[in-house]
Amino acid sequence: MIQIFGTKKCRNTQKALRFFSDRGIEVQFRDLSVKPPSPGELDDMAKAAGGYDILIDLSGPAAEQRGLRYMDYDAREILLEDPALYKTPLVRPGKGLAAAGPDEAAWKGMVKTA
């Protein structure tokens, strides 16, 4: 089963949900605004995706409002504080593999392992 973390209004999250649905892959959706990842889940996703910084959407409104482009910060702590900073969708087929944002090439690789 594939886990998708995102928000209901996010077009990229909707695209990921449709991508896996069209291929008959079972998906578990988690709305970040309702239930963000736990610290352990965040650590697993960051390790699988290549680091905490990859999970942050620096071009999004939440990052611009905080001025993240112009400051030093601890990516893990800031993601735990504000789930609006995640690059969505966060897609993972389990431990060891994850993709942040609209990465259709990574999704295709996940279909092969699902």
Tens of pLDDT, residue by residue over 7-55, are 999 999 999 999 999 999 999 999 999 999 999 999 999 999 999 999 9
List all residues 6 or more positions away from 78 whose beta carbon is below 8 Å from its beta carbon: 56, 66, 68, 85
- Crossing angle of the two packed helices 104-113 and 11-22, in degrees rounded to 10: 30
Tens of pLDDT, residue by residue over 52-104, are 999 999 999 999 999 998 899 999 999 999 999 999 999 999 778 999 999 99
**Among candidate residues 99, 101, 97, the one with its CA nearest the CA of residue 88:** 101
Domains of the chain, CATH where assigned:
2-113 (3.40.30.10)
Calpha distance 48→95 (Å, rounded): 7
Q: What is the model's pTM?
A: 0.91
